Structure 1
Amino acid sequence: MSSADRPPGSPRVVFSARGVGRRYPGVRALEGLDLDGYAGEVLAVCGANGAGKSTFARLLAGQEAPDDGEIRVEGHDGPVTGPADAERAGILLMHQEPLVVDDFSLAENVWLYRLRAGSDVRPWKLARRGDDPETRRILGDVGLGDLDPRMPARQLAPGQRQMLALSRATVTPHRVLILDETTASTSEEHFKEIERMVAAERAAGTAVVFVSHRMPEVFALADRIAVLRNGNLVDVVRAAETDAGHVTTMMIGEAVTALDRPPALPETAGPPALTVRGLSAGSARDVSFDVAKGEVVGVYGLVGSGRSSVARSVSGQQRALAGEVSLDGNPVVLRSPGEALRRGVVYLTEDRRREGFVADFTNGENLTLSTLGSSSRLGVLRRRRERARVTELIKRFQIKGGPDVLTSTLSGGNQQKVCLAKWLEADPEVVVLDEPTKGIDVGARLNIYRIIHDLCRQGRAVLVVTSEAEEALMLCHRVLVLRDGQVAAEFDTADATTDDLIRTALGGEAA
């Protein structure tokens, strides 16, 4: 192990993992892990899908017990073997999927853990907190200060939900803070609030564990980086002494080559596959654009710009207030996702766990949801035919886990491949992808990029909504930048930079 395992100055050890191992049926998730966390330090834990990073987070938080070894926390008598141990030891876990009670107000969600602890249970006291200056300050610290603390949490966008969950760190005593892929569902502008929050935790002497695959964020936050691969600790390195390329190589075992530009557009005299004119829906207003066959068009913008409203309205997920949508030059009204599917338009949601698949279904059941008719005869499902097709899809999309494995038990990248394969099995002409790589690691991300470029070669029209400027330039032929619900500019990605997109989205002029 590198000397970076102990930073200079011999800081105080807050937690120690020694010989920690965890096994599941047929899977070795972690093997002999030795790792320390220090006061006032951010330790990033990185790895590809299935590397063991989230398993380590669950073990440290006491949500699971190790099969081998032990985890000890400064000041706590005995190893951490369960949630009660972890809570008494001062360990706070923030999940990738935000724990938010939809029927509670923002204020009630902020103080949720205090209610669990048995304090502040008087309804009249909680009611006062809805407009309490302290609650407003806490919401402001995570970028939600402009919202009414009394509004229901169900009205929040995915990124706002995550920031609401993170606000609890301010009011919950802890000495170890675990951020398990918590930036996966947030956008670029929310990351500034996360940086400020982590800086405050570091100043307070907290040991912060940042589980992530997003290299820019890892290097923005971390002091040390622990890299896992196939359940083993590869190395621990100081962030200041390495770079993203080296860390990525350690994660996947080989250098990641840059993705090629999207394939050139085919020469066609026909009408665009998708034409949108004067579309108004949600926070989007008077949006117009075309997507040709074999073209990838990106829609980039900040939270509230209307980017997801565009995606949902052109795919029948959301009713448009005004405007016209045409497919192959023919005006259509897509009143529902089912009608869009029949017209050859599919939509991949940005919130896969809530909308992308059925949690209680297996891979086989989820993969055939969009094409049950082709696997049925007179209303009776032909199991053998369905099974053969599912096996082929799992192989083609490199999905880990067989047909009988619950999709909910897969890693984020494999769940996303199940969701994408399900819709592509319907043989669509227009594919609408809302944040297609949210919450997945670098290896799975490149896999999905290649799938999208293959769709181009097949002549499909692809609309990609993304909050990452770099991704928009890597994936697309053209990018529309939305600001305040309208198209602020359009860029050819061969000539644009991330700075052009970000400045335009923020309201400045492109360089």
Structure 2
Amino acid sequence: MTAEESTPLLSLRNVRKSFGPIEVLHGIDLDIKAGEVVALLGENGAGKSTVSNIISGTILPSSGEMKWQGAVFAPASPREAIDAGVGMIHQELLLLPHLSIAENLFVGRYPKKAGVVDRKTMEQRAHAGLQRLGLDISPRRLVQGLSTANQQLIEIAKALTLNARLLILDEPTAALGGDETIKLFEQIERLKQDGVGIIYISHRLEEIKQIADRIVVMRDGSKVQEFENADVPVRTIVEAMVGRSLERMFPPIPSPQDRTVLEVRDLSSGLGSFTGINFDVARGEILGIAGLVGAGRTELARAIVGVDPVSKGQVLLDGKDISPRKPRDAIRNGIVLVPEDRKQQGLVLPHSIAENFAYANMNQVARKGWVTRKRARAFADGGILKFGVKGQSHQNADELSGGNQQKVVIAKWLARNPRVVVLDEPTRGIDVGARSSIYDIIVGLAREGVSVIVISSDLEEVLGVSNRVMVMAQGKLSGILNRGEANDVSVMELATM
């Protein structure tokens, strides 16, 4: 082995970071070699994002040393890191909705000809980048209106156009279905063969075993364990992440009552995303909805609560047609939606937890049309305590971890004592500890007699929390399975019909 081959692409030695008097990273050592995938794992708040932001030049370390291909590496900005060959794909989508896909892929570095943007070249290169990921969309199309999954793939394509030597992928499959994930993994294998090093951050531990060469586990700002290969039981990884032994992931599921609460009859989307959907949910039942990305699951949820229009069909509550024309109709009838994108649709991030609670519960918080800060905070404090939110009512929502943000979204709607709760991707992008808490909340609702619908791209999750699993494929209902007959194979057979 030559000296060049033995030298890590990137090395971190005793890297520390403090915000004020609080040290959040404690002496991190990390090596990334060319052509390998290193999974960086840990609960939210473990320090993964801080390490990634230091490597990508977003923040500066307080002390320690980094080396890039053997030379001192100290990027003072993301541009310096990109110029060196480091690209980062953030979990939070950073696309500009009013620009085209091609413009987003090359923003800040548009190809030019005779001093002006060479749109033909830009769109040809964008098309090639999209095709590498199997994305059949015109590069001239605006990003606005694209699905979350497609936006995530565009973020990935954007990083790939940088021809980076090191890629940091932060939850790259959080919004992707099975087919998109397979295409991404194929691309990662090609990048490995080209000598690209990859730091892969994900809470989907089963996919880590498929894609990673090594696993590094962080907890509370420290590197606590490193596995030299990915052939490690998931339970062992989880126990390293949380620092304790896990006896279970999913709580016991209660049996539903005989009484039907929600019925959906021959419902078809006014936007053409699904057609002829029929199902019902009993009191205290958890109905899981599975399917590949593009199957129409999210669009169905949005139609049930009046966000998206329907062309025909009915939504019945206790046998009465209450088909919502707008979200307010559903909310008044006791049907609430926890949306798939908590940051864009579930919270007003720059506002406090108390304000976010108040927006969903004005009838309980406002007196004679007035909302006082004291009353709003007292109301939010109840939800914070009940659902174990790690935060205070005066804190802004954007100061919380992903898991705690999700708890706030759920808690503010449950404060209305709804009869039906629809949760779309309830644990997307949150750590295993917060996931367990949310599963407890879901099962607790069922025990209280609430009808719950859980939509998830995580098949293990759907199987783990559901009394029955409804499977959608290409906008149609392809089958409903009882808990005893639902498994990976039976669900995927229906999902690919």
Query: TM exceeds 0.5?
Result: yes
Please state whether the residue corresponding to 1:288 is helix, strand or coil. Answer: strand
Q: CA deviation at 1:496?
A: 1.7
Contact preservation (8 Å) 2:215, 2:230: no
1:110 maps to 105
Q: CA deviation at 1:337?
A: 1.2
Cα distance between partner residues in 2 of 1:17 and 1:28: 17
Contact preservation (8 Å) 1:349, 1:355: yes
1:376 maps to 366
2:319 maps to 329
- What stretches of structure 1 move > 4 A for 4+ residues in a row? 75-78, 118-124
Contact preservation (8 Å) 2:15, 2:65: yes
Give 1:53's match in structure 2, choosing from 48, 53, 59: 48
Give the unaligned 5+ runs of structure 1. Answer: 1-8
1:66 aligns with 2:61: yes
1:137 aligns with 2:125: no
1:170 aligns with 2:160: yes
> Which whole-Å deviations, capped at 9, do the CAs of 1:427-468 have from their partners, x for residues lacking one?
111111111111111111111111000000111111111122
Residues 30, 280 of structure 1: alpha-carbon distance in 2 compared, 3 angstrom cutoff: same
Q: CA deviation at 1:109?
A: 2.3
User: 1:349-498 maps to which residues of 2 (within 5 A)?
Assistant: 349-498=339-488
1:31 maps to 26
1:265 aligns with 2:256: yes
State the percentage of identical aligned residues: 35
Residues 310, 11 of structure 1: alpha-carbon distance in 2 compared, 3 angstrom cutoff: same
2:343 partner amino acid: R
Cα distance between partner residues in 1 of 2:477 and 2:190: 37
1:88 maps to 83
Please state whether the residue corresponding to 2:178 is helix, strand or coil. Answer: coil
Bigger CA drift: 484-493 or 9-18? 9-18
Q: CA deviation at 1:277?
A: 0.3
Q: CA deviation at 1:193?
A: 1.4
Please state whether the residue corresponding to 1:154 is helix, strand or coil. Answer: coil
1:154 maps to 144
Residues 440, 121 of structure 1: alpha-carbon distance in 2 compared, 3 angstrom cutoff: farther
Residues 52, 78 of structure 1: alpha-carbon distance in 2 compared, 3 angstrom cutoff: closer
Cα distance between partner residues in 2 of 1:159 and 1:73: 32
Cα distance between partner residues in 2 of 1:324 and 1:467: 26
Contact preservation (8 Å) 1:113, 1:168: no
Cα distance between partner residues in 2 of 1:221 and 1:88: 27
1:277 aligns with 2:277: no
Q: CA deviation at 1:363?
A: 1.5
Contact preservation (8 Å) 2:469, 2:486: no
Q: CA deviation at 1:113?
A: 5.1
Contact preservation (8 Å) 1:76, 1:88: no
> Which whole-Å deviations, capped at 9, do the CAs of 1:93-120 have from their partners, x for residues lacking one?
11002222212222222333532xx756
Give the unaligned 5+ runs of structure 2. Answer: none
1:500 maps to 490
Q: How many residues align?
A: 491
1:501 partner amino acid: V
Q: CA deviation at 1:367?
A: 2.2
Contact preservation (8 Å) 2:65, 2:72: no
Q: So what's the TM-score if we normalise by structure 1?
A: 0.92
Cα distance between partner residues in 1 of 2:235 and 2:278: 39
Contact preservation (8 Å) 1:314, 1:325: yes
Please state whether the residue corresponding to 2:445 is helix, strand or coil. Answer: helix
2:332 maps to 342
Q: CA deviation at 1:384?
A: 2.8
Q: CA deviation at 1:250?
A: 0.3
Cα distance between partner residues in 2 of 1:466 and 1:241: 26
Cα distance between partner residues in 2 of 1:253 and 1:230: 10
Contact preservation (8 Å) 1:315, 1:340: yes
Cα distance between partner residues in 1 of 2:114 and 2:207: 37
1:247 aligns with 2:269: no
Residues 326, 26 of structure 1: alpha-carbon distance in 2 compared, 3 angstrom cutoff: farther
Residues 202, 11 of structure 1: alpha-carbon distance in 2 compared, 3 angstrom cutoff: farther
Please state whether the residue corresponding to 1:18 is helix, strand or coil. Answer: strand
1:125 maps to 118
Q: So what's the TM-score if we normalise by structure 2?
A: 0.94
Q: CA deviation at 1:349?
A: 0.7
Cα distance between partner residues in 2 of 1:12 and 1:119: 37
1:18 maps to 13
Residues 150, 10 of structure 1: alpha-carbon distance in 2 compared, 3 angstrom cutoff: closer
Contact preservation (8 Å) 1:473, 1:493: yes
Please state whether the residue corresponding to 1:340 is helix, strand or coil. Answer: helix
User: 1:186-335 maps to which residues of 2 (within 5 A)?
Assistant: 186-256=176-246, 257-268=248-259, 272-281=260-269, 282=271, 283-335=273-325
Residues 255, 10 of structure 1: alpha-carbon distance in 2 compared, 3 angstrom cutoff: farther
Bigger CA drift: 369-378 or 234-243? 234-243
Cα distance between partner residues in 2 of 1:158 and 1:121: 36
| Aligned-residue RMSD, C-alpha | 1.9
Cα distance between partner residues in 2 of 1:194 and 1:342: 42
Cα distance between partner residues in 1 of 2:374 and 2:201: 41
Cα distance between partner residues in 2 of 1:175 and 1:124: 26
Q: CA deviation at 1:182?
A: 2.0
